[in-house]
Amino acid sequence: MRLWGLLGSAGLLLSLAGCGVPAGGAIGVSVDGHGRPVIYIQMCEGHIDGATLYRSDDDSSEDQIFGRWVVSPAVEGFSQFNLAAPTGDWRAARQLLPRDPATEYTIYGWSTDNSYSAMHLDFSQNSLAELKSGELRYPDFATGNLKTGSLQDFRKETCEQSWG
């Protein structure tokens, strides 16, 4: 378990340092019936072995990790998990810490061998409050901003727009 944490941290630090772990997929976020964040991952190339939720600071040595999850087997294709209560192949490697609803956090999908990643996504709990049932927020590859759409749109557009 400690090895997973070290490898995940190494992958996170490499990604933050601008080193070249290629993105092979993207992350979207929605909420469950209790308003808790649900993470959606669509890998188009490669795989990821886990995800880390963190808050960036201007000084990367001050970055704070708020949660870490691992998945087995590795995600190739589509997967999802609830940050507060992961199920299925996902499990918490580091429990989710309390977060300020107004603060923006980043979630990043990583592979232990640094072969691929899922593009990071920034969100705050407050920004998710405006989502309607069935909607999620995910990257709009054409504009570089975030967009709101359906799960079906996220799954289709992720691979077609950036890896198709």
Do residues 147 and 140 make contact, with C-beta atoms less than 8 angstroms apart? yes
Structure confidence by residue, pLDDT tens digits, 147-161: 999 999 999 999 887
| pLDDT above 70 (res 10) | no
As a whole number, the mean pLDDT across the chain is: 86
- Residue-wise pLDDT for 94-141, tens only, equals 989 999 999 999 999 999 999 999 999 999 999 999 898 899 999 998
Cα(130)–Cα(60) distance, integer angstroms: 30
Distances (CA, A) of 80 to 7, 96, 118: 21, 16, 13
What residues have CB less than 8 Å from 141, skipping those under 6 apart? Answer: 157, 158, 161, 162
Residues 6+ apart with CB under 8 A from 164: 44
Of 13-17, 51-55, 139-143, the range with the highest mean pLDDT is 51-55
More confident residue, 57 or 97: 97
Percentage of the chain beyond pLDDT 70 is: 83
**In 3D, which of 62, 61, 68 has the Cα closest to residue 9?**
68
